[in-house]
Structures are given as structure tokens and as C-alpha cells.
Structure 1
Amino acid sequence: MIPLNEWLLFCGAALLMVLTPGPNMIYLISRSISQGSKAGIISLLGVIVGFLVHMVAAAIGLTALFLAIPLAYEALKWVGALYLLWLAWHAIKPRARSPFEAKNLPYDSASKLFLMGFLTNVLNPKIAIFYLAILPQFISSHHGSVFFQSMVFGFTQIVISFSINLSITLSAASIAFWFARNPTWIAIQRYFMGFILVTLAIRLAFEPRQNE
């Protein structure tokens, strides 16, 4: 059984990751502004299916890894911490691009919108790292099946990501317009996100392994 405090901590990490600008957010915002919220929602459904691929692959792979090479978790932990630091740098570096500076995208059919959302997420390195390097730190052999824990955490991440991305998709134009009129808040958001990412990276790097 996963302890409630660990699950809540994972929820915080998943929320932070979905709020950190990346390929999914930039694509969904750009698509919603260029073609409307309906197109954004169809694209989001493709993104969610992409999450299912990441989740199942991670659950199967982590189960095998946990049984065969427990020490590999130490390497995964440092990979995750370094990636969080990389995300933090991209958030605060000079001339960092805001995800609300949408790209102009051509109108596409529903099937192509779904496929593009799916591919954007399946090929998204941020999500791959999250499932392979950050999620494992919340799994413990003392809490039951590694596969079951992976699926529970995976579905939790998907629900959080869907909720936040749906809200962003439905209000993309308004949010983009507001940030365009208030550019100072973009800088504030970037530095705040950078600080949180660095804090999470330090915690991830120096906290004892959950499976010990």
C-alpha cells in the first residue's frame, strides 16, 4: 500500500512537471490558438494516449529493473536530478521563450490532430525522464508490487496532467493575451519555476532511495 504522504508528494512533483513548459504545453497552446479549443482537446486526447504508452512501458521496465538491478535506481536518481537542473536553466536563461508565444499552425483533420498530439507526447523527453528517473524514487519494495505502484503513480500523473492541460487548452487564447499585456509576470513565472525545479533536483539527488 502506497503511503498517503508519498502519494501526495508525487502529486506535487507531477503537478510541477505539467506546469513546466515543454513540447506538450507549447503544442496544445499553439494548436488551440490557431485552430480553436476543439482542435486542442482532440490533440490533448492524443497526448493522453501517449502518456499510457509511457506508463505501461515504465511499469514493465521498472518491475524488471527493480528485480534484476536494484542499484540502477541510484543512476536513475542522478539522471532525474540533472534533468531537473537542465529544465531549471531553460526556465531562467536569458531570452527564454514563453510557451504562451504560440506558433502558427495549419488547420489539420481530427485524425491528424490526434496523431500529432500522440507523437508529441511519445517523443517528449521530459515525460520519458519523468517516468524513468523521477517516478522510480517514489516506489518501494516495502509497499507491494512494483508494477502496481507504477500503474497507480502513472494514472495519478495522467489525471493531473489531463486536468491542467485541459484548463490551459480551453483558456489558451485568454492566457496568451494576458501574458502579452503583462510581460513582467512571464519573468516572475520563469524564475519561480526555476527555483522550484532546483529545489526538487536537490531533494531528489540527496534523499535516500525509497526501496531501501
Structure 2
Amino acid sequence: MTQSLLVGTFLAALFYVLIPGPAFLQLLGIGAGQGRKAGAFFMMGHLVGDILWSALALVAIVGARTIGTFVFDLLGLLCGFYLAWIGWSAVTAKPKGDGRALVTVKRPFRRGLIFGVTNPKGYPVALATFTALVAGSAGALDFEALPLLLSVSFLGFVTADLILVAIIGAGAVRRFYRAHERLIVRCSGVLFMGFAVQALWHATPGLLAWRKA
């Protein structure tokens, strides 16, 4: 087990939660309308989905690595393109300008649980993000390391949740987000594209070497 693998796993879990997406926008709406407590309950429910999708993603990554480097590199290549597509979609997104009113959520924990577990993009995004950030330490991946990686992922999720709960509900945060929504979304898109470049950077040399062989 290498330190870079642990750090990469922690950062993957952290960024998986912190990068603006549907759950982030839902949390912002709940926090802005009902305060930090409601937002915290939403994130506690959503944590179940985060753990589920990250566990499946890590099992897939470790399994691919165990089968052979070609499968792992091919997985990294596909994830790189997927991340690039997400990033490009965010960078080119157009504001809706519909001025939606905040909706009161009576059971934020249940909303977060359903939102996290039923999110169809949860698994591919987790798979792509974790692949991009642990690919550099692929040699240390095996099933024996899986429990520790899941524990580190859990710490990353909890850290990200605490960060979000600490900032939601603040008037300055709400005003800043509304004033700079387009910039925030585009910055998150650039970050996704950066992950894509990293995934492709690690996957391409292995695939080229396999082709030559």
C-alpha cells in the first residue's frame, strides 16, 4: 500500500462530493431555504449512496487491475473520455434562467438517501473519478487493499460533507453562488477535464505498449 494510493483515494472521494453536480445543487437549495441542519440530514442520507457507488467502483477498478494491465488501461481510457464529456458539457452549459423557487423538503434525510442511491450517474462518475486519481498507483491495487481503500474513501466523503455543511445556509454563500453560477459550473467542468487528461495520460502509454507487443 503506497501513500500516493491512499492520498489519491481520499482526494477522489473528496472531489466526488465537492464537485458541483445535481446533489450539490439540491444541497444548496435545501441549505439556503432550511438551514444547515436540514442540509446535514440530506448529506447523511446521501452518504449511503456515496459509499455504495464508490465501493462498486473500487471493486471494478481492483478487479480490472487484477485481470491485467490492458483491462485497467482500457478502463482508464474510457473513463478519461467520459470525464472529458462531463467537463465539456459543464463548460458549454447555458443558464436556464427559470428562477425556480426553493422547495421545502420535509424529510431531508430520506431525500438524500433516495437521491444518492438512485442517482444513475453515481457509479460512472465514481468509477471515472477514482480511476483518474488512483491510476498512478495502479501497481499497488489488489483486493487485500480494498477494505483500507473503502475506509479512506469514507473519510474523504465525511470530510467533504462537513465542508459543505459548514458553508451552506450562509447568506454570503447563497448570494455568491447566484451571482457566479455560470463561472462555478464552468470551473467544475474544467476540473473534470483535468481529471480526464490525467486518466488518459496514465492509460495511453500502457495501451500503446500492448499494441506494439
Asked if TM exceeds 0.5, the reply is: yes
Counterpart-to-counterpart distance in 1, 2:162 and 2:63 = 31
Alpha-carbon spacing, 1:91–1:80, altered in 2? closer, same or farther (3 Å): same
C-alpha displacement of 1:117: 0.1
- Deviation string 1:114-143 (CA, Å, 9 cap, x unpaired) is 121012112334432243233245153436
Counterpart-to-counterpart distance in 2, 1:59 and 1:92 = 28
Identity %: 19
8 Å CA contact retained: 1:87, 1:194: yes
C-alpha displacement of 1:43: 1.0
Partner of 2:138: 140
Paired letter, 2:164: N
Runs of 4+ aligned structure 1 residues displaced above 6 Å come to: none
Equivalent residue runs for 1:152-191 within 5 Å: 152-171=151-170, 173-180=171-178, 183=179, 185-191=180-186
Give TM-score scaled by structure 2 length. 0.74
Counterpart-to-counterpart distance in 2, 1:16 and 1:169 = 17
Counterpart-to-counterpart distance in 2, 1:200 and 1:59 = 17
Q: Establish whether residue 114 from structure 1 lines up as the match of residue 105 from structure 2.
A: no
Paired letter, 2:147: F
Partner of 2:34: 35
Unaligned runs of 5+ in 1: none
Alpha-carbon spacing, 1:19–1:151, altered in 2? closer, same or farther (3 Å): closer
Partner of 1:202: 197
Q: CA RMSD in A?
A: 3.3
Counterpart-to-counterpart distance in 2, 1:120 and 1:44 = 10
8 Å CA contact retained: 1:14, 1:160: no
C-alpha displacement of 1:25: 0.5
8 Å CA contact retained: 2:77, 2:200: yes
Matched length: 201
Partner of 2:74: 75
Alpha-carbon spacing, 1:121–1:135, altered in 2? closer, same or farther (3 Å): same
Counterpart-to-counterpart distance in 2, 1:193 and 1:107 = 26
Unaligned runs of 5+ in 2: 207-213
8 Å CA contact retained: 1:41, 1:169: no
8 Å CA contact retained: 2:2, 2:140: no
Secondary structure of 1:106's aligned partner:
coil
Equivalent residue runs for 1:46-65 within 5 Å: 46-65=45-64
8 Å CA contact retained: 1:47, 1:118: yes
Partner of 1:2: 2
Paired letter, 2:89: H
C-alpha displacement of 1:203: 1.4
Paired letter, 1:25: F
C-alpha displacement of 1:46: 0.3
8 Å CA contact retained: 1:76, 1:132: no
Paired letter, 1:32: G
8 Å CA contact retained: 1:30, 1:103: no
C-alpha displacement of 1:95: 1.5
Paired letter, 1:105: V
C-alpha displacement of 1:204: 0.9
